[in-house]
Amino acid sequence: NAGVTQTPKFQVLKTGQSMTLQCAQDMNHEYMSWYRQDPGMGLRLIHYSVGAGITDQGEVPNGYNVSRSTTEDFPLRLLSAAPSQTSVYFCASSYVLAGTYEQYFGPGTRLTVT
Amino acid sequence: QQQVKQSPQSLIVQKGGISIINCAYENTAFDYFPWYQQFPGKGPALLIAIRPDVSEKKEGRFTISFNKSAKQFSLHIMDSQPGDSATYFCAASSAGGGADGLTFGKGTHLIIQP
């Protein structure tokens, strides 16, 4: 299994540009999430999905859109990039089994907005 | 509003010593408390997790202590090794398993000196 994959690894955008960060998982996990990681801030939840066709907002959703048309894919769209969106973005997938819950994180996408 | 507070921000421990990282939470609906380990350039990886029905969980050199009444939990790393040098995050979730994502602390940068 490849686990959770993210593309691209690095991206530089100009203010106002749009782009999509790709995330895919091959573990058949129901749940998927997007986080951003900023120095000294930990990881903050942007959006999450509890299954195909179902998404919801996390702690910092403004400026981002998501959709979940399949179990495997959960892309994150930046509609009009701003310097404040410079960050490292992590996608995660997870399952719940007998009270055990584990999130598997992808390797991250480092985004710079100039 | 930070729902999970983590301390210290950074920690230096001698090889063979005990590393202790503390977290406190506010939301009494949280029912799952994991610790994640992150190496530079990598995504976080689950280290150990606990539910509030137990006060301690041990896996190898890693132990979580949980105090429900104080709303605090901590990670102890026994016989700390240079390979343990990483950033550690505590986290918490509700909804019976974290389908709605994790709330992270801000992280502790741990350095184990040889």
Q: Is A19 a residue whose pLDDT tops 70?
A: yes
Segments of chain B scoring below 50 in pLDDT: none
B99 contacts A50? CB cut-off 8 A: yes
Nearest CB neighbour to A105, from listed B45, B93, B101: B45
Q: Is the minimum CB–CB distance between B32 and chain A shorter than 8 Å? A: yes
Model pLDDT, residue B100: 73
pLDDT at site A100: 67
Residue in B46, B99, B105 closest to A102 by CB: B46
**Which residue, B50, B97, B54, B51, is CA-closest to B75?**
B50
pLDDT class of A41 with cuts at 50, 70, 90: confident
B34–A42 C-beta distance less than 8 A: no
CA B2 to chain centre: 16
pLDDT averaged over every residue in chain A: 93
Tens-place pLDDT, residues A67-114: 999 999 999 999 999 999 999 999 999 887 776 677 899 999 999 999
Please report the pLDDT score of residue A101 as a whole number: 72
Nearest chain B Cα distance for residue A52, angstroms: 13
Q: What is the pLDDT of residue B42?
A: 93
CA-based end-to-end distance of chain A: 36
